Amino acid sequence: MDKLKAMQIFTSIADAGSLTGAARALDASLPAIVRSLAMLEAELGVRLFNRTTRRIALTQEGRVYLERCRHVLAAVAEADAELRAEHAEPQGRLSMTAPVFFGQLHVCPAVTRFVQRHPKVNVEVQLLDRVVNLVEEGIDVGIRIGMLDDSSLVAQQVGSLRRVVVATPEYLAQHGTPLQPKDLLRHNCVRFSGSSAPWWTFHAGGKQFSVPVTGNLSFNQAAPAAEACLAHLGFGMFISYQVAAQLRDGTLCAVLEEFEPPQRPVSIVYPQSRRLPARTRMFIDWMKQALEEATRQQASDCV
């Protein structure tokens, strides 16, 4: 006996309120409907309907079994729909957010390649250096750098990034290379504006500590701060991707590497949902692969 088909016939009988109604709904013969019900009841060992010459009504066992059948049939239909969606061309609107500089370097190129592959998807990218509430602002996907504190989001970590202190070889040759974080106290440091900007965080012996730094320049963006360091104006502390190109070509050198704090995770986040649209699932998989590759490259560039 085809159990799934028998469940469908049983559910149709309950919905139609009669055997003949189920036969019409399923475009099947009445004897086939009667035979399927009889076989199902025989296998289960219970009576699902009380039948008279005038009416048919569910038994107590039938009502319980009907609810279970509806769940099973709904799950099968959902699985079929998801499988069809996997093989269909994704389409529709999708919105995402990412930090500005990281987004420009790694996220936007990956998004562009995704849209080239799937032109029916309309992606809106917002590059913002603030933590966006995805649910309140209606954003489908976000890229986060750092520890996550929003338990309402699903997070998939795609890599991690270092926090590095850098200066030019010329500055180091003229002013010396610091051997301890406290050595920065006698150097000019290019800082980021903000309440915690004068303090740079380090790690040693399993403990975290901070050093107050001073300097005659501060910025609210990484790019001009890196340019100031390239002009031999002092040390800067950056997330590794912000100066990866300069570390790679040797125009900036990393110092105090043994005192770096724990690496920051890079995560793809999205609101919890029992069933994401196919375009969103495909986009998340695409971005995960692209950012895993990008963060691996970052790690090799900054060694």
Provide Rg for the chain, Cα atoms.
31
Confidence grade of residue 194 (pLDDT, cut at 50, 70, 90): low
Min mean pLDDT across 10-24, 64-78, 182-196 is at 182-196
d(CA 146, CA 141): 16
Give the pLDDT score at 120.
92
Confidence grade of residue 298 (pLDDT, cut at 50, 70, 90): low
pLDDT of residue 172 exceeding 60, the answer is yes
pLDDT of residue 183 exceeding 60, the answer is yes
Confidence grade of residue 303 (pLDDT, cut at 50, 70, 90): low
Per-residue pLDDT tens for 93-133? Answer: 999 999 999 999 999 999 999 999 999 999 999 999 888 88
Give the pLDDT score at 149.
75
What percent of the chain is predicted at pLDDT more than 70? 94
Q: Mean per-residue pLDDT for 222-227?
A: 93
Q: Which residues of 47-60 are buried (b: 16+ CB within 10 A; e: fewer)?
A: ebbeeeeeebebee
Give the pLDDT score at 288.
95
Q: Mean per-residue pLDDT for 219-227?
A: 91
d(CA 207, CA 181): 14
Per-residue pLDDT tens for 201-213? Answer: 999 988 999 999 9
Helix (H, G, I), strand (E, B) or coil at 172: helix
d(CA 85, CA 72): 20
Min mean pLDDT across 51-60, 152-161, 238-247, 294-303 is at 294-303
Q: What angle do CA 264, 167, 107 make, to 5 degrees?
A: 40
Confidence grade of residue 278 (pLDDT, cut at 50, 70, 90): confident
d(CA 297, CA 9): 57
d(CA 249, CA 232): 16
Q: Which domains occur in the chain, in start order?
A: 3-86 (1.10.10.10), 92-153+272-301 (3.40.190.10), 163-259 (3.40.190.10)
Give the pLDDT score at 10.
93
Confidence grade of residue 88 (pLDDT, cut at 50, 70, 90): low
Give the pLDDT score at 56.
87
Q: Mean per-residue pLDDT for 165-169?
A: 97
Residue 114's nearest CA partner among 257, 249, 283 is 283
Average predicted confidence (pLDDT) for the chain = 90
Q: Scanning the structure block, which residue is given the tokens 């603030």?
A: 130
Instruction: Provide the edge-to-edge strand list for the sheet that holds 92-98.
Output: 121-127, 92-98, 141-145, 264-271, 153-161
Q: Scanning the structure block, which residue is given the tokens 């990956």?
A: 110
pLDDT of residue 179 exceeding 90, the answer is yes
Helix (H, G, I), strand (E, B) or coil at 82: helix
- Greatest mean pLDDT among 139-148, 163-172, 217-226, 267-276 lies in 163-172
User: Could you tell me where the beta strands, DSSP code E, fall in the chain?
Assistant: 49-51, 56-58, 92-98, 121-127, 141-145, 153-161, 163-167, 189-192, 199-204, 207-212, 217-219, 235-239, 253-255, 264-271
